[in-house]
């Protein structure tokens, strides 16, 4: 489990900022609006995404200590962990370049202890650079060796934005709402999608007599997303 997260030049945190977590328990984030609670969670999501991209494109060895080579580039469309109007919004004050770090000015580092064998401190820092509308990802600091496990995370966007009514939204409009931290605003849209698809599936399954065969109905109730929610 991750015990510490360090971020620099990421969104509102320009200076290097350390967050200490509780790997053996529950870490509770508290603070006012725009204090950085969601930013920390988003930093973990971006770190996880970058690990996966580097491992897929260059193998896990590219994350080890003393590995060398150029960074891996991804386009705006390929950047999936959080929704942004522009990749520049990852950086503090939208300033993506200076002379430090060879252009990899945004840094996210995670520290943890190995769970197998004697506890051993491990860390992996990833750097990010933006050039020609492509985001480049690279290991900047690491003490990983072959066989060391890397923590994996799942990021769920905040469910703010739920109101008494929501209009029907296009996929692009939903992404904009989620990028603003208003994932809850698209909840009914998602439920409607499930309900609408369930109706189409049932209609296709109806026989000539207008009834769904028992075997087909049982299959729908077992596998259909709306039926599972019910």
Give the tens place of pLDDT for each residue, 211-225: 899 999 999 999 999
β-pairing verdict for 121-131 and 106-113: antiparallel
pLDDT of residue 40 exceeding 80: yes
Q: What pLDDT score was predicted for residue 158?
A: 66
pTM higher than 0.75, yes or no?
no
Residue 47: predicted pLDDT? 97
- In tens, the pLDDT along 21-33 reads 998 888 888 888 8
3-state class of 26 per DSSP? Answer: coil
Q: How confident is the model at residue 102 (pLDDT cuts 50, 70, 90)?
A: low
Span 175-211, pLDDT tens digits? 788 767 677 888 889 899 999 999 999 999 987 778 8
Average pLDDT for 117-129: 90
Please state, in angstroms and as integers, the Cα–Cα distance from residue 222 to each residue in 192, 195, 219, following that order.
19, 15, 5
More confident: 180 or 42: 42
Mean pLDDT of the chain: 88
Angle between helices 214-223 and 187-205 (to 10 degrees): 160
The per-residue DSSP string of 140-202 comes to: EEE---TT-----------B----S------HHHHHHHHHTTBGGGGHHHHHHHHHHHHHHHH
High-pLDDT (> 90) share of the chain, %: 54
Percentage of the chain lying above the pLDDT 70 cut: 96
What residues does each domain of the chain span? 2-142, 171-229
Q: What is the mean pLDDT of residues 114-139?
A: 90
CA 13, 152, 32, 164: dihedral to nearest 10 degrees? 130
pLDDT at residue 95, rounded to an integer: 87
């Amino acid at each position: 489990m991750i015990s510490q997260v360090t971020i620099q030049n990421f969104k509102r945190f320009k200076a290097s900022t350390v967050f200490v977590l509780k790997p053996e328990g529950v870490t509770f984030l508290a603070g006012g609006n725009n204090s950085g609670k969601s930013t920390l969670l988003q930093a973990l999501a971006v770190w996880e995404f970058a690990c996966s991209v580097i491992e897929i494109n260059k193998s896990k060895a590219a994350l080890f200590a003393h590995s060398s080579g150029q960074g891996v580039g991804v386009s705006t469309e390929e950047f999936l962990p959080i929704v942004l109007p522009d990749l520049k919004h990852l950086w503090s004050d939208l300033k993506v370049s200076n002379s430090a770090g060879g252009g990899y000015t945004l840094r996210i580092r995670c520290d943890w202890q190995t769970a197998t064998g004697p506890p051993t401190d491990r860390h992996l820092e990833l750097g990010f650079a933006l050039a020609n509308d492509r985001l480049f990802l690279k290991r900047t600091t690491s003490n990983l060796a072959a066989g060391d496990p890397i923590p994996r995370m799942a990021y769920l966007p905040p469910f703010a934005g739920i109101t008494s009514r929501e209009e029907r939204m296009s996929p692009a409009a939903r992404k904009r709402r989620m990028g603003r931290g208003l994932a809850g605003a698209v909840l009914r849209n998602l439920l409607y999608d499930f309900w609408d698809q369930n109706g189409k599936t049932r209609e296709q399954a109806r026989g000539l007599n207008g009834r769904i065969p028992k075997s087909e109905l049982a299959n729908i109730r077992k596998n259909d997303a709306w039926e599972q929610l019910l």
